[in-house]
Amino acid sequence: MHWYLEVLRKYTLFTGRSRRSEYWYFTLFNLIVITVLWFIDSVMRKIVGFGMFGILYGLAVLLPGIAVSIRRLHDTDRSGWWMLLALVPIVGLVLIVLLAEDSNAGTNRYGQNPKLVIA
């Protein structure tokens, strides 16, 4: 939960670097919330005829999700433009591998290694 809230606090920060744990815990928490909201929306569709909680949540976390993904790519010394791979079918799966890679040791062109930064 700490990493999720940390990403939401830095929702417009596209510079710097993010650790793997920050990215993947944010993604895991999003998956859990979306699953719960999908269930609530399906019940709402049966009762009221529509359910929009999932869509609203998706729009709310879109910008923080893009920002943390770009910072994660910066941590592997890649430009945020690599996110465009997600738009290409099948080739976009390479993005998962890039996001799962370990950090570059030391400082790179995007800043100091976040593993070495003392909070």
Output the pLDDT for position 44.
Answer: 87
Domain containing 28: what range? 2-100
- For residue 113, tell me if it sits in a domain: no
Number of domains in the chain: 1
Question: Are 59 and 68 a contacting pair, CB within 8 Å?
Answer: no
Output the pLDDT for position 117.
Answer: 67
- For residue 116, tell me if it sits in a domain: no
Output the pLDDT for position 114.
Answer: 82
Output the pLDDT for position 83.
Answer: 93
Neighbours of 72 (CB within 10 A): 26
Q: For the whole model, what pTM was predicted?
A: 0.86
- For residue 79, tell me if it sits in a domain: yes
- For residue 89, tell me if it sits in a domain: yes
Q: Which residues contact 39 (CB under 8 A, 6 or more apart)?
A: none
- For residue 81, tell me if it sits in a domain: yes
Per-residue confidence in pLDDT tens, the chain, 119 aa: 778 888 888 888 899 899 899 999 999 999 999 999 999 999 988 888 888 899 999 999 999 999 999 999 999 999 999 999 999 999 889 999 999 998 888 888 888 888 876 65
Output the pLDDT for position 48.
Answer: 82
Q: For residues 71 and 19, give the distance between their C-alpha atoms in angstroms, rounded to a whole number.
A: 8
